[in-house]
Amino acid sequence: MLLQQLEHTLTKSKMVKLAAIAGNDSLSLPELLDMCFYHRTEIAFRAAWILEHVTTHYPERFVPYLADFLSRYPKQQNPSCQRHFTNILIFLTGNRAEKKGIRLTGYDMLPIVETTFNWLIAVDTAIAVKANCMEVLYNLRHTADWITEELHQQLLFLQRDGGPAIQSRSRKIMEKLNG
């Protein structure tokens, strides 16, 4: 059923409806997460878009699958899905998730940090994903001593060699780091 839904172009309103179905337990979140790795990239993208919406609007449904998401995050190779996955991590590592009682303590975040740095550094990573990576790493800077310094170095590099959008975002994150 889910695959049939995802085979067709997804409007925002249709995505919101599918996320609501997932939010009320009528759509399998493990199946949705599996679809984020589907071999047809457009289907994987649509699944990741829905998963992001479920995470931010129905976090209580997502939390039971948090460990599975975190373990699969480093395996995501689809650039369009990487954008949604990093958006999910921005939510999970930010204040909104904490206010809803979601905490990442107890999870091994090193693979997440390493993957996120790899995506940030990779030349072929989409600008939006790089921008999200900066935010994720900023939010995770307290999970390991070395993250702040490495992020600082990468931000300096991106300010020097990145395009205008990346330079702007890296300056904002740098200001937060130095703040």
Summarised one tens digit per residue, pLDDT across range 44-57 is 999 999 999 999 99
> pLDDT (tens digit, 9 = 90+) per residue, 49-89?
999 999 999 999 999 999 999 999 999 999 999 999 999 99
Q: State how far the alpha carbon of 7 is from the alpha carbons of 35, 59, 77, 141, in Å.
A: 11, 25, 20, 39
Q: State how far the alpha carbon of 77 is from the alpha carbons of 45, 85, 98, 108, 124, in Å.
A: 11, 11, 28, 20, 12
- Position 176 confidence tier, pLDDT thresholds 50, 70, 90: very high
* Residue 81 one-letter amino acid: C
Both tokens of residue 148? 């702040």
Q: Where are the domains of the chain?
A: 1-105, 108-179
Both tokens of residue 59? 């976090």
Question: At residue 23, does pLDDT exceed 80?
Answer: no
**How high does pLDDT run on average in the chain?**
93
- Position 139 confidence tier, pLDDT thresholds 50, 70, 90: very high
- Position 1 confidence tier, pLDDT thresholds 50, 70, 90: low
Question: At residue 16, does pLDDT exceed 80?
Answer: yes
pTM score, whole prediction:
0.94
Burial class (CB in 10 A: 0-12, 13-18, 19+), 86: buried
Buried b (16+ CB within 10 A) or exposed e, 47-66: bbbbbbbbbbebbebbbebb
